[in-house]
Amino acid sequence: MSMSKEQEQKARQQFENDIKDVDNDDVEYASKKGQSKINKFGDKPPGPLQSLWRDIKLMIGLITDYAKGNYRDVPWNVLAAVTGAVIYFVSPIDAIPDVIPVVGYVDDALVVKLALEIARPDLEAYAKWKNA
Protein backbone atom coordinates (compact mmCIF):
# COMPACT_ATOMS: atom_id res chain seq x y z
CA MET A 1 0.00 0.00 0.00
CA SER A 2 2.30 2.72 -1.16
CA MET A 3 2.39 5.37 -3.79
CA SER A 4 5.08 6.44 -6.19
CA LYS A 5 7.05 9.62 -5.64
CA GLU A 6 5.28 11.07 -8.67
CA GLN A 7 1.84 10.28 -7.23
CA GLU A 8 2.87 11.72 -3.87
CA GLN A 9 4.12 14.92 -5.49
CA LYS A 10 0.93 15.21 -7.54
CA ALA A 11 -1.24 14.82 -4.42
CA ARG A 12 0.81 17.39 -2.48
CA GLN A 13 0.73 19.85 -5.35
CA GLN A 14 -3.02 19.48 -5.87
CA PHE A 15 -3.64 19.99 -2.13
CA GLU A 16 -1.39 23.06 -1.97
CA ASN A 17 -3.06 24.58 -5.04
CA ASP A 18 -6.56 23.80 -3.79
CA ILE A 19 -6.14 25.47 -0.42
CA LYS A 20 -5.03 28.75 -2.01
CA ASP A 21 -8.45 29.25 -3.58
CA VAL A 22 -10.81 28.02 -0.85
CA ASP A 23 -13.85 30.21 -0.32
CA ASN A 24 -17.10 29.93 1.65
CA ASP A 25 -18.77 27.99 -1.17
CA ASP A 26 -16.01 25.39 -0.93
CA VAL A 27 -16.52 25.12 2.83
CA GLU A 28 -20.23 24.50 2.27
CA TYR A 29 -19.52 21.95 -0.48
CA ALA A 30 -16.92 20.09 1.60
CA SER A 31 -19.29 20.00 4.55
CA LYS A 32 -22.12 18.40 2.58
CA LYS A 33 -20.02 16.03 0.48
CA GLY A 34 -17.80 15.10 3.40
CA GLN A 35 -20.74 14.18 5.59
CA SER A 36 -22.20 12.11 2.76
CA LYS A 37 -18.94 10.20 2.32
CA ILE A 38 -18.61 9.62 6.07
CA ASN A 39 -22.14 8.22 6.11
CA LYS A 40 -21.31 5.97 3.15
CA PHE A 41 -18.46 4.30 5.03
CA GLY A 42 -20.00 4.39 8.50
CA ASP A 43 -17.58 2.76 10.91
CA LYS A 44 -15.73 0.87 8.16
CA PRO A 45 -13.41 3.31 6.40
CA PRO A 46 -11.04 2.12 3.68
CA GLY A 47 -7.84 0.59 5.09
CA PRO A 48 -5.48 3.53 4.50
CA LEU A 49 -7.91 5.85 6.29
CA GLN A 50 -8.67 3.73 9.36
CA SER A 51 -6.10 5.36 11.62
CA LEU A 52 -7.23 8.82 10.45
CA TRP A 53 -10.99 8.23 10.62
CA ARG A 54 -11.54 10.15 13.86
CA ASP A 55 -9.56 13.10 12.48
CA ILE A 56 -11.44 13.06 9.18
CA LYS A 57 -14.77 13.10 10.99
CA LEU A 58 -13.49 15.92 13.20
CA MET A 59 -12.42 17.90 10.13
CA ILE A 60 -15.84 17.50 8.58
CA GLY A 61 -17.48 18.48 11.85
CA LEU A 62 -15.34 21.62 12.01
CA ILE A 63 -16.23 22.80 8.53
CA THR A 64 -19.89 21.92 9.05
CA ASP A 65 -20.07 23.93 12.27
CA TYR A 66 -18.20 26.76 10.57
CA ALA A 67 -20.58 26.74 7.58
CA LYS A 68 -23.58 26.83 9.93
CA GLY A 69 -22.05 29.69 11.92
CA ASN A 70 -21.82 27.61 15.09
CA TYR A 71 -18.03 27.74 15.40
CA ARG A 72 -15.85 30.50 14.03
CA ASP A 73 -12.80 30.33 16.29
CA VAL A 74 -10.51 28.98 13.57
CA PRO A 75 -7.96 30.82 11.41
CA TRP A 76 -8.82 30.96 7.71
CA ASN A 77 -5.61 29.15 6.69
CA VAL A 78 -6.56 26.22 8.93
CA LEU A 79 -10.11 26.18 7.60
CA ALA A 80 -8.74 26.28 4.05
CA ALA A 81 -6.38 23.36 4.73
CA VAL A 82 -9.15 21.26 6.28
CA THR A 83 -11.58 22.16 3.48
CA GLY A 84 -8.98 21.35 0.83
CA ALA A 85 -8.28 17.97 2.43
CA VAL A 86 -11.97 17.09 2.64
CA ILE A 87 -12.55 18.11 -0.98
CA TYR A 88 -9.62 15.92 -1.99
CA PHE A 89 -11.06 13.06 0.10
CA VAL A 90 -14.53 13.29 -1.50
CA SER A 91 -13.21 13.57 -5.05
CA PRO A 92 -13.05 10.21 -6.82
CA ILE A 93 -10.49 11.58 -9.27
CA ASP A 94 -7.16 12.45 -7.69
CA ALA A 95 -3.55 11.25 -7.76
CA ILE A 96 -4.70 7.66 -7.23
CA PRO A 97 -8.36 7.20 -8.20
CA ASP A 98 -10.45 5.94 -5.28
CA VAL A 99 -11.90 3.10 -7.35
CA ILE A 100 -8.56 1.28 -7.31
CA PRO A 101 -8.88 -1.36 -4.57
CA VAL A 102 -6.72 -0.98 -1.46
CA VAL A 103 -4.40 1.77 -2.72
CA GLY A 104 -7.12 4.15 -3.94
CA TYR A 105 -7.16 6.00 -0.64
CA VAL A 106 -3.42 6.14 0.06
CA ASP A 107 -3.15 9.59 -1.51
CA ASP A 108 -6.21 10.75 0.44
CA ALA A 109 -4.49 9.66 3.65
CA LEU A 110 -1.41 11.67 2.68
CA VAL A 111 -3.48 14.80 2.07
CA VAL A 112 -5.33 14.38 5.37
CA LYS A 113 -1.96 14.09 7.14
CA LEU A 114 -0.74 17.26 5.41
CA ALA A 115 -3.84 19.11 6.61
CA LEU A 116 -3.36 17.75 10.12
CA GLU A 117 0.17 19.20 10.19
CA ILE A 118 -1.44 22.61 9.74
CA ALA A 119 -4.65 22.12 11.72
CA ARG A 120 -3.93 19.81 14.67
CA PRO A 121 -4.00 22.42 17.50
CA ASP A 122 -7.14 24.06 16.10
CA LEU A 123 -8.85 20.69 15.62
CA GLU A 124 -8.09 19.82 19.24
CA ALA A 125 -9.55 23.16 20.35
CA TYR A 126 -12.62 22.46 18.23
CA ALA A 127 -12.98 18.97 19.73
CA LYS A 128 -12.89 20.47 23.24
CA TRP A 129 -15.52 23.02 22.25
CA LYS A 130 -17.68 20.31 20.68
CA ASN A 131 -17.48 18.10 23.76
CA ALA A 132 -18.18 20.94 26.21
Q: Report how far Cα 126 is from the mean position of its chain's Cα atoms.
A: 15
pLDDT at 1 over 70: no
Mean pLDDT of 66-70: 97
Q: Rounded mean pLDDT of 1-12?
A: 87
State how far the Cα of 19 lies from the Cα of 5, in Å rounded to an integer. Answer: 21
How far is Cα 119 from Cα 79, in angstroms, rounded to an integer? 8
Domain count, the chain: 1
pTM of full prediction above 0.85? yes
Q: Is a pLDDT exceeding 90 seen at residue 24? A: yes
Domain that holds residue 47: 5-131
Structure confidence at residue 2 (pLDDT): 76
Higher pLDDT, 3 or 33: 33
How much is the average pLDDT of 80-94?
Answer: 93
